[in-house]
Amino acid sequence: MKTVGVFDSGVGGLSVLRALLAELPGVRFIYVADSAYAPYGERTVSEITDRSERITAWLRGTHHIDALVVACNTATALAIDSLRATHPDLPIVGVEPALKPAALMSHTRHVGVLATRGTLDSQRFARLRTQLESAALSPVHFICQPCDGLADAIERHDLRTQQSLCERYVAALREHAPGDMDTVVLGCTHYPFAADVLTQLLGPAVTLVDTGIAVARRTRDVLGMSIGVVTPATPPVLLSTGDPAKLSQGASRWLDLQTRAEQLLV
């Protein structure tokens, strides 16, 4: 049985784990929520790099993982290059704001991006944005909105604050976006869990795009697993550096998993 490590700053990566479980039911997933250090989007590059390395080293040393999924946009943007340099023999799959899929989907070529400040300020994001905005045949205009505090509100399942912040950031996005914006990228793995609120605020004419399915398929590819092979479902191992009860509740709420999370000191 293949073993894959998955980590995020908190419960947001459960949106990626949901897609991974659907695509690869026979794989053993070890999910680490680094909730004691959440949200990553408001931490320094050195802090994020250090946490990413500590968790990766622990997953390799303890569970001998066959691959790693960095289920966090900010950690991917700021730490994945360092992880790949330190662990060249380990297949590592990251998540990035789905700019390319959104560009392909948008008819108006005006795409909104909701993400953490850390992701939007990263060189990796800037390179991808510049590449797509300067395309010769069909350039895309991205309207980027940092969403300070939103990942934390989702992490705490604070519905009132989620609603308030979604209203604020959608209003700010619309203020700077052309009226024909038809696609919005959810640039943080936490944000799919606020999709209902965002859809209500943005309206039915706007399509939301996240990266869960693409990440799951990429993980299947790096593991060399065939499409359509039916294998018994394997429950994931859930670990949290913060309050494991919050991770258990999130897994139950969003994934319908009745798996008890355990405390991790790393």
Task: Choose among 126, 110, 103: nearest CA to 176.
Answer: 110
Same domain? For 202 and 232 the reply is no
Q: Are 193 and 20 in contact (CB under 8 A)?
A: no
Mean pLDDT of 199-206: 95
Q: CA dihedral in degrees (56, 59, 64, 65; nearest 10)?
A: -70
147 belongs to the catalytic site: no
Same domain? For 42 and 173 the reply is no
Q: What is the pTM of this model?
A: 0.86
Same domain? For 87 and 118 the reply is no
| C-alpha to C-alpha distance for 209 and 45, rounded to whole angstroms | 26
Same domain? For 200 and 217 the reply is no
| C-alpha to C-alpha distance for 158 and 22, rounded to whole angstroms | 27
Same domain? For 181 and 196 the reply is yes
Instruction: For the beta carbon of residue 243, count every other beta carbon within 10 angstroms.
Output: 14
Same domain? For 40 and 80 the reply is yes
Poorest-pLDDT segment among 2-16, 37-51, 182-196: 37-51
The residue that leads in pLDDT, 15 or 134, is 15
Print burial letters for 87-99: b (CB count within 10 Å at least 16), e (below 16). eeebbbbbbbbbb
Instruction: Say whether pLDDT at 228 is over 90.
Output: no
Show the tokens assigned to 215: 């990440």
| C-alpha to C-alpha distance for 190 and 90, rounded to whole angstroms | 26
Same domain? For 76 and 163 the reply is no
43 pLDDT band (50/70/90 cuts)? confident
Show the tokens assigned to 199: 């859809």
140: left (phi over 0), alpha (psi -120 to 50) or beta: beta
**Catalytic member of 144, 147, 166, 188:** 188
The whole-number pLDDT of residue 31 equals 98
Mean pLDDT of 24-52: 92
| C-alpha to C-alpha distance for 179 and 185, rounded to whole angstroms | 16
72 belongs to the catalytic site: yes
Q: Tell me the per-residue pLDDT of 119-157, one tens digit each, with 9 for 90 and over.
A: 899 888 999 899 888 875 678 899 999 999 999 899 889
Instruction: Say whether pLDDT at 226 is over 70.
Output: no
Q: Tell me the per-residue pLDDT of 50-62, one tens digit each, with 9 for 90 and over.
A: 999 999 999 999 9
57-66 contacts at long range (C-beta below 8 A, 24 or more positions apart) = 58/32, 58/264, 58/266, 59/5, 59/7, 59/30, 59/32, 60/5, 60/87, 60/90, 63/3, 63/5, 63/30, 64/3, 65/3, 65/4, 65/5, 65/30, 65/90, 66/2, 66/3, 66/4, 66/91, 66/223
Same domain? For 37 and 114 the reply is no
Among the three residues 192, 209, 226, which one is the final residue of a domain in this structure?
209
- Of the CA atoms within 13 Å of residue 44, those in its CB half-sphere come to 3
Angle at 105 between CA 104 and CA 107, to 5 degrees: 100
**Catalytic member of 72, 144, 147, 166:** 72
Which structural domain range is residue 231 located in? 3-95+212-263
Same domain? For 218 and 258 the reply is yes
Mean pLDDT of 53-74: 96
CATH number where 66 lies: 3.40.50.1860
Show the tokens assigned to 39: 């949200």
Poorest-pLDDT segment among 37-41, 123-127, 132-136, 170-174: 132-136
Instruction: Say whether pLDDT at 89 is over 90.
Output: yes
Q: Are 142 and 182 in contact (CB under 8 A)?
A: no
Show the tokens assigned to 52: 């990413």
Same domain? For 143 and 43 the reply is no
Angle at 225 between CA 219 and CA 230, to 5 degrees: 110
Print burial letters for 117-141: b (CB count within 10 Å at least 16), e (below 16). ebbbbbebbeebbeebeeeeeeebe
Task: Pick from 27-41, 58-72, 119-133, 233-247 the range whose average pLDDT is largest.
Answer: 58-72
Same domain? For 132 and 159 the reply is yes
Domain total of the chain: 2
Among the three residues 171, 192, 209, which one is the final residue of a domain in this structure?
209
Same domain? For 54 and 156 the reply is no
Percent of the chain with pLDDT over 70: 96
Tell the residue number behind the tokens 């045949």, with chain if given.
Answer: 137
The whole-number pLDDT of residue 141 equals 93
